[in-house]
């Protein structure tokens, strides 16, 4: 499930960037294409695009290793749900599509991340070891580190 979470997360990151980069570079054109109400000054849609780019950058560590960066992973899911609440719950209908965009990613990410953490929680050493690393590999690596430390100690 972890692989699927990462795939959906990266798809969401790329989707965010596909909306945000053109909004920063050509805000009026993006407003016209999406049918959103006019915004003045255009600084605000551009700034929103910049913030979306920065938010997407914070998602990236979880897309690489969601166990190690579990706070980023859960923040990514929470941010999607926050977008749904903000755009659907507090904005006029013209902006609801932005909330639905977040909803498309929020639900599968929440389900997949929950299943991924449940599946690795039952493994030896649970979440302490890296995702995909077996207990044997972890013990072997620890043994190598210990033997190396012993050799260094003997050399002194």
Question: Residue 66 above 60 pLDDT?
Answer: yes
Residues 75-100: pLDDT tens digits? 999 999 999 999 999 999 999 999 99
Residues 38-48: pLDDT tens digits? 999 999 999 99
Stronger pLDDT, 54 or 124, i.e. the higher one: 54
Domain definitions of the chain by residue range: 2-121
Residues 112-150: pLDDT tens digits? 999 999 999 877 655 555 544 444 555 555 555 555 556
Ordered DSSP codes for the chain: -HHHHHHHHHHHHHHHHHHHHHHHH-HHHHHHHHTPPP-SSTHHHHHHHHHHHHHHHHHHHHHH-TTTTHHHHHHHHHHHHHHHIIIIIHS-GGGHHHHHHHHHHHHHHHHHHHHHHHHHHTSTTGGGSPTT--HHHHHHHHHHHHHHHHHHHHH-
Question: Residue 21 above 70 pLDDT?
Answer: yes
């Amino acid at each position: 499930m972890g692989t699927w979470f990462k795939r959906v997360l990266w798809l969401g990151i790329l989707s965010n960037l596909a909306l945000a980069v053109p909004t920063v570079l050509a805000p009026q054109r993006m407003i016209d294409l999406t049918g959103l109400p006019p915004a003045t000054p255009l600084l605000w849609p551009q700034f929103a695009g910049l913030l979306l780019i920065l938010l997407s950058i914070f998602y990236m560590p979880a897309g690489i290793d969601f166990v190690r960066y579990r706070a980023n992973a859960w923040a990514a899911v929470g941010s999607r749900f926050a977008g749904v609440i903000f755009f659907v719950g507090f904005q006029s209908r013209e902006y609801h599509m932005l909330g639905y965009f977040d909803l498309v990613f929020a639900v599968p990410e929440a389900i997949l991340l929950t299943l991924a953490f449940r599946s690795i929680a039952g493994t030896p050493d649970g979440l302490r070891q890296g995702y995909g690393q077996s207990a044997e590999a972890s013990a072997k690596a620890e043994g190598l580190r210990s033997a190396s430390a012993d050799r260094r100690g003997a050399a002194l």
